Chain A
Amino acid sequence: MNRRQFLLTSAGLVCVGEICSCISHRHEAPFSGSILGASHNIGHLLREGKVPAATQERKVPVVIVGGGISGLSAGWKLDKAGFGEFEILELESEIGGNSRFGENQVSPYPWGAHYVPIPTKESRAVRELFEELGVIQGYTSSGQPIFEEKYLCSSPQERLYIHGRWQEGLLPLVGVTQRDLDQYERFRALVAHYKGHRGRDGRKAFCIPMELSSQDKELVALDQLSFSDFLHNEGFDSVPLNWYMNYACRDDYGCTMADVSAWAGMHYFASRDGGAGELEDSTVLTWPEGNGWIVKQLRKKLQSHVTTDALVFLIDCAPQRVTVDIYHPKENVSTRIVARDVIFACPKHLVKYIITAARSSSTQYLNEFQYAPWLVANLTLKSFPVARTGTPIAWDNVIYDSESLGYVVATHQSLRTHLPQTVFTYYYPLTGTSPTEERNRLLQTTWQTWADFILKDLSKPHPEIFALVSHLDVFRWGHAMVRPRPGFVWGRARRKAAENLDHLYFAHSDLSGFSIFEEAQYRGVLAAEHILGKYRIPFSSSL
């Protein structure tokens, strides 16, 4: 090799090296992460009955089984009435149920429920709680609540990625025809009609809490129909309108509009009428950790009453007392509580494994409770994706042609002007086939496959997303929420499930037929007030 060749070769090698490093920087972006989720293994112990027998015994007057919003709200009400002799038992290491949250060096973030719409007039308990937490700061002379501004979702609230660009709001506006727009307008009018409509019993057509809705036969009959059939019958065939309706059903109920009752479908649109003044009905309250913020506040009040890592595996009702057997997986021992009364604030599908009375009697009706599986992922990003054409990044960012619901920006409510990093919370209800099959798919799919699936989905609007992710955790919710199928909301099974036994009170959003914060809280407070009434403890009702 002569001198010239040597120089040329080395120059070439330098260039090739540089090119390789350029390319590899772009494509090799390893990130960490893992699968998290409800403790399936411990939960399955319930079914198999493989737990040690209880050794120690203690007495607690009131036991609340389940530390989700319902159980915590029951505790909140008992505590407010000055009754302190209760204990909340939670299977997981953290309370909160569907409102659990996580936190890293960038931001807190939700693992599930992430907002509460501004409460309706009838959601009295929600308003009371929000006054206590400083979310409602007072009322105007006309009686409208004044909200703490930093808890109202900042603008822009929502955007939709459709036909290669971001538009403001979720109702598709890009590439729609006049015919679509006419149907939007007709649907708006229908919603407005139902918002103002009262049944023959004088109650609102669609109310939150749902128990206060009208029982007018004509309205309740909507429950027999699927939402998609209802829209079809009403002549709503616009493709983008139907997309939006289906999106709304997946978002709130975890299933498609063919699996949602028309009553539940209309309830989503017509029940939220809390808007007033400069606030629209669609305004929501949100926090970086989602509804986990409310859990944090309740935890402060109820900390001394909570026992975590406590799996209740047997509840036995005798005439004068209830025994509650608890397995503590960390210590691998079981204990027993003898209680006067128990509030069962868990999903209904657990009843047949835990409650002895249910084991002996017919539990056929419990099969009516079907649950939607969900996947939630939190992606920690090194920086925000590049802003391209259209509406800048919003709180809720939805992708039109996607199975997922898009992502929510956990740092959206931050008051900082400069945010180097952020966390995106990705929501994906598995609505493909039957809940059982989809649940199996959820549990059998590996972290790597989920990570690939999520990044592929997000790369539609953000081609560079792969290079931005530094951490990606996946949370599996096997039984995320009860499905308000046609016939379920006003059917026999749900009503029967809400009937209390002698010393056993039921509380959970399952009893309302769909999983939203207001319903979970309502059911918890209702159960607590039953017990307060029974004990003749004076209280003013929150409901």
Chain B
Amino acid sequence: MTYALLISVFVIATCGLVYELIAGTLASYLLGDSVTQFSTIIGTYLFSMGMGSYLSRHIGKGLIGKFIQIELFVGILGGSSASVLFLVFSYLGTFKLILYFLVVLVGILVGLEIPLLLRILKARLQFKDLVSQVLTFDYLGALVASLLFPVFLAPKLGLVRTCFLFGLINALVAAWTAWLFREQLPQVKWIRAECGAVTLLLLLGFVYANQITALAEESLYSDEIVFAKSSPYQRIVLTRWKDDLRLFLNGHLQFSSRDEYRYHEALVHPGLQSIANPRTVLVLGGGDGLAVREILKHPSIEAVTLVDLDPEVTGLFRSNPILRQLNQDSLNSSKTKIINADAFVWLEQNPACYDFVVVDFPDPTNHSLGKLYTTAFYRLLHKHLAENGAAVIQSTSPLFARQSFWCIVRTLESVGLRATPYHTYVPSFGEWGFVIASKQTYIPPGSYLENLKFLTADTAAGLFHFPKDMHPVDVEINRLNNQVLVQYYESEWRQVTQ
């Protein structure tokens, strides 16, 4: 019996430290600044344990029954703390308050445990043995928890599951204690039922932990989600608020239906309008069909080839009625041919030349995407341009990512293309940049199509002027073997978002 209780000390000490570690990890994960978060969480937790120890004097009769009840409380509160905090962070604004409230509550309950156990064990051991053994097992448990947590629990099980697992262990300690003392306890049946209910709840939490996490993430989008699907390539989420439709890929905004016309008109027409009688167009990326919509406004166009990696995206924009209205069914046009392939590899394997090429890739956020902005890629692009043709490259923001923008310009120039940079304002994106790349000198068009919402010849001239804060800067050329653009981009956008 004594050893059984000492093992309980060991187990609850492990549980107690795990809750503390989870709260600290979650806080630094969600709020950042890990030193501050960990430090304040540990302080608060230890202080609350002290309060628990102080309060333990007020517990008089029915020690064992109270101990069991406290274990069950710790199990429920501690066990569900990670999921509660995740959900609170996603749905409510008062994360910190609830975080510290939970830490205090769990701390108090954990603080009650050891004094109560000391008192239960008092009759069975001499004072010096009692203190030495209980504290030994207490600290041992702490050691095990602190080793297990970073090495095994957090990476293998994840925070939410780990939390439920230890809640379960607390509940099992309660059930075990109830069994050990079954003859001394009044209302054993009632206690057993409590233990069973708590265990079941925590088990359910453990099993459905993934769904809880998913629920928390969904709510990070501010508007109502009308479509969400994970393709092998990315997470596609479409949101809607009143008449504003927004597409997110892996959480990055692709367009807002309120102002996308600004982006897509600016992307397509300055380049395309400058070409006499364009017939064939290649679009790389742009699976939403919005660039194709603009291209098809030019009557001379005979064929548009769209190469986009993800069949889920092109499929969605070919079938969803609202989206087909938005892209004016451009992806179902008889002139449009859709190819789902990796653009770089496809371009290497296909020899055709095009009058106009739209390069609308995601920003160079990682080394894989960075390859699509290198000299190697632009040399390939050069080979696919007709002699009088042109290409346009979406080139991130010349205001927020000035080095990145001019790096793209210089890289295009380094492979023998003439680069003509320009920019426009898209409210949902901010100041945005593009570069026209051509074999001949680019001459801006004298007029634009009548049916555009944004571009006219007299205002378009302004796109090519760069105010002082977007002037060229000295940059290196982006190559496969240096990938400087990824570094520029990362450092520049980090400054903006922090």
A154 touches B367 (CB 8 A): yes
Check B206 for interface membership: any CB of A closer than 8 A: yes
Q: Does residue A350 face the partner (Cβ distance < 8 Å to B)?
A: no
B357-371 residues with Cβ-Cβ distance < 8 A to A are 366-369, 371
Given contacts A15-B207, A155-B480, A155-B483, contact A417 B369 (CB under 8 A): yes
CB distance from A381 to the nearest CB of B (A): 15
Q: A278-B479, A415-B345, A416-B342 are in contact. Are A149 and B203 (CB under 8 A)?
A: no
Interface membership of A152, Cβ < 8 A: yes
User: Which residues on the B side are within 8 Å of A150 (C-beta)?
Assistant: 376, 480
Asked if residues B200 and A15 are in contact (CB atoms below 8 Å), the reply is yes
Q: Please, what's the 1-or-0 string for A11-39, where 1 marks a CB less than 8 Å from any CB in chain B?
A: 11001101100100010000000000000
A8 touches B342 (CB 8 A): no
- Total count of chain A residues near the partner, CB < 8 A: 29
- Cβ–Cβ contact A417 & B204, under 8 A: no
Q: Report if B351 contacts A (CB, 8 A).
A: no
Q: A66 CB to closest chain B CB, in angstroms?
A: 34
Known contacts A149-B480, A417-B309; A154/B371 CB under 8 A: yes
Task: State how many angstroms separate the Cβ of A411 from the closest Cβ of chain B.
Answer: 11
Measured CB to CB, the closest approach of chain B to A272, in angstroms, equals: 16
Say if the beta carbon of B375 comes within 8 Å of chain A.
yes
- Which residues of A lie under 8 Å from residue B12 when comparing CB positions? none
- A15–B345 contact, CB under 8 A? no
Q: Is B482's CB within 8 Å of the partner chain A?
A: yes
Given the interface pairs A15-B204, A418-B233, the reply to whether A152 lies near B480 with Cβ below 8 Å is yes
Report yes or no: A415 in contact with B348, Cβ–Cβ below 8 A.
yes
Q: Cβ of B480: which chain A residues have Cβ within 8 Å of it?
A: 149-150, 152, 154-155
Bound together, the chains give a CA A19 to CA B203 distance in angstroms of 8
Say yes or no: A18 contacts B367, CB within 8 Å: no
Report which residue of B233, B369, B477, B482 has the largest number of chain A beta carbons within 10 angstroms of its beta carbon: B482
Inter-subunit contact B345/A11 (CB<8 Å):
no
Instruction: Give residues 60-79 of B contacting A (CB, 8 Å).
Output: none
CA distance A463 to B374 in the complex (A): 34
The answer, yes or no, to whether B47 is at the interface (CB within 8 Å) is no
Chain B proximity of A54: nearest CB distance (Å): 49
- B379 cross-chain contacts in A, Cβ below 8 A: 149
The 0/1 profile, CB within 8 Å of B marked 1, for residues 420-431 of chain A is 100000000000
Contact between B376 and A149 (Cβ–Cβ < 8 Å)?
yes
A488 and B49 CA atoms in complex are apart in Å by 69
B203: A residues at CB distance < 8 A: 12, 15-16, 19
Q: Which of A155, A417, A420 has the most CB of B within 10 A?
A: A417
Q: When chains A and B are docked, how far (Å) is the Cα of A535 from the Cα of B481?
A: 45
* A149–B372 CB distance below 8 A: no
Assess whether A156 is in contact with B483, with CB atoms less than 8 Å apart. Answer: yes
B342 adjacent to A464 (CB under 8 Å): no
Is residue B160 contacting chain A, with contact meaning CB distance below 8 A?
A: no
CA distance A11 to B366 in the complex (A): 46
Would you give the shortest CB distance from A499 to chain B, in whole angstroms? 42
Contacts of B479 in A (CB 8 A): 149, 152, 155, 278
Is A283 in contact with chain B by the CB < 8 A criterion? yes
> Is B483 touching A464 in the complex (CB atoms < 8 A)?
no
Tally of B interface residues using CB under 8 Å: 33
A52 at the A/B interface (Cβ < 8 Å)?
no
Contacts of B374 in A (CB 8 A): 149
Near B by CB (< 8 A), chain A positions 460-477 give 463-464
A504 interface residue (CB < 8 Å to B): no
Chain B nearest CB from A279 CB (Å) reads 8
CB pair B481–A417 under 8 Å, yes or no, is: no
Instruction: Say how far A147's CB is from chain B's closest CB, in angstroms.
Output: 9
Chain B residues positioned under 8 Å from A19 (CB to CB): 203, 206-207
**Chain A, residue nearest B203 (CB):** A15
B480 (CB) vs chain A CBs: closest residue: A154
In the bound complex, do residue A417 and residue B344 qualify as a contact, i.e. CB atoms below 8 Å apart? yes
Q: Establish whether residues B155 and A464, one from each chain, have CB atoms under 8 Å apart when the complex forms.
A: yes
> Interface readout for B329-353 with A: 1 if CB under 8 Å, 0 if not?
0000000000000111100100000
**With A and B bound together, what is the CA distance between A12 and B195 in angstroms?**
13
A526 within 8 A of B: no
A392 contacts B by Cβ under 8 Å: yes
Chain A residues whose CB sits within 8 angstroms of the CB of B348 once the complex forms: 415
Min CB gap A168→B, angstroms: 11
Given A154-B367, A155-B367, A417-B371, A12 contacting B200 (CB threshold 8 A): yes
Structural contact, A392 and B367, CB atoms closer than 8 A = yes
Chain B hits for A18, CB < 8 A: 207
Q: How far is the CA of A417 from the CA of B310 in the complex (A)?
A: 11
A153 beta carbon closer than 8 Å to chain B: yes
Q: Is B196's beta carbon under 8 Å from chain A?
A: yes
Q: Are A392 and B155 interface neighbours, CB within 8 A?
A: no
A418 closest partner in B (C-beta)? B233
- Give per-residue flags for A140-175: 1 if the beta carbon is below 8 A from chain B beta carbons, else 0: 000000000110111111000000000000000000
Contacts of A418 in B (CB 8 A): 232-233, 309, 342, 368
Q: In the complex, which residue of chain A has the Cβ closest to the Cβ of B361?
A: A417
Residues of chain B within 8 A (CB-CB) of A416 are 342, 344-345, 368
CA distance A397 to B480 in the complex (A): 18
Chain B residues, CB < 8 A from A279:
481
Complex CA–CA separation, A19 to B379 (angstroms): 54
**B370: nearest chain-A partner, CB-CB:** A155
Chain B residue at smallest Cβ distance from A386? B155
The answer to whether B481 touches A8, judged by C-beta atoms less than 8 angstroms apart, is: no
Residue B124 interfacial (CB < 8 Å): no
User: Measured between alpha carbons, how far is A384 from B340 in the docked complex, in Å?
Assistant: 22
The smallest beta-carbon distance between B490 and chain A, in angstroms, is 10
Contacts of A8 in B (CB 8 A): 196, 200
CB distance from B218 to the nearest CB of A (A): 22
Shortest CB distance A471–B (Å): 20
For the complex, give the distance between the alpha carbons of A31 and B368 in Å: 28
Complex Cα distance A419/B232, Å?
10
CB of B258 closer than 8 Å to a CB of A: no
A410–chain B nearest beta-carbon distance, Å: 16
Given A15-B200, A463-B156, A154 contacting B207 (CB threshold 8 A): no
Interface string of B110-125 (1 = CB under 8 A from A): 0000000000000000
Give the CA-CA distance A156 to B370 in the complex, in Å.
12
Min CB–CB distance B26 → chain A (angstroms): 17
A12, A15, A154, A415: the one within 8 Å of B483 (CB): A154
Provide the bound-state CA to CA distance between A111 and B196, in Å.
57
A278 CA / B155 CA spacing, docked (Å):
40
Inside 8 A of B367's CB, which chain A residues have their CB?
Answer: 154-156, 392
A418 CB → nearest B CB, Å: 5
Are A155 and B482 in contact (CB-based, < 8 A)? yes
Whether the Cβ atoms of B155 and A415 lie closer than 8 Å is: no
Closest Cβ of chain A: how far from B121's Cβ, in Å? 32
Q: CA A18 – CA B200 in complex, angstroms?
A: 13
- B404 to nearest A CB, angstroms? 16
- CB neighbours (8 Å) of B309 from chain A are 417-418
Docked-complex contact A417 and B343, CB < 8 angstroms: yes
| Nearest CB of B to A101, in Å | 20
- How many Å lie between the Cα of A150 and that of B376 in the bound state? 7
A12 CA / B372 CA spacing, docked (Å): 53
**CB contact list, A198-215 vs B, under 8 A:** none
Given contact pairs A154-B367, A417-B372, A278 touches B200 in the complex (Cβ within 8 A): no
Please determine whether A283 and B342 come into contact, CB atoms closer than 8 angstroms.
no
Q: Across the interface, which residues of B come within 8 angstroms of A153, CB to CB?
A: 481
CB distance from A44 to the nearest CB of B (A): 44
Q: Which of A26, A392, A417 contacts B342 (CB under 8 A)?
A: A417
A155 & B342 in contact (Cβ 8 Å cutoff)? no
Q: How far, in angstroms, from A157 to B479 measured CA to CA in the complex?
A: 13
- From B347, which residue of chain A is reached at the shortest CB distance? A415
Task: Report the separation of the CA atoms of residues A11 and B203 in the bound assembly, to the nearest whole angstrom.
Answer: 10
Interface residues of B in 361-404 (CB under 8 A from A): 366-369, 371-372, 374-376, 379
Nearest 3 A/B pairs, CB to CB: A155-B483, A415-B344, A149-B376
Given contacts A18-B207, A415-B348, 7 further A-B contacts (CB under 8 A): A15-B204, A16-B203, A26-B156, A154-B480, A154-B483, A417-B369, A418-B309
**Can you list 7 pairs linking A and B with CB atoms under 8 Å apart?**
A154-B367, A283-B481, A392-B366, A415-B342, A416-B344, A416-B345, A417-B309
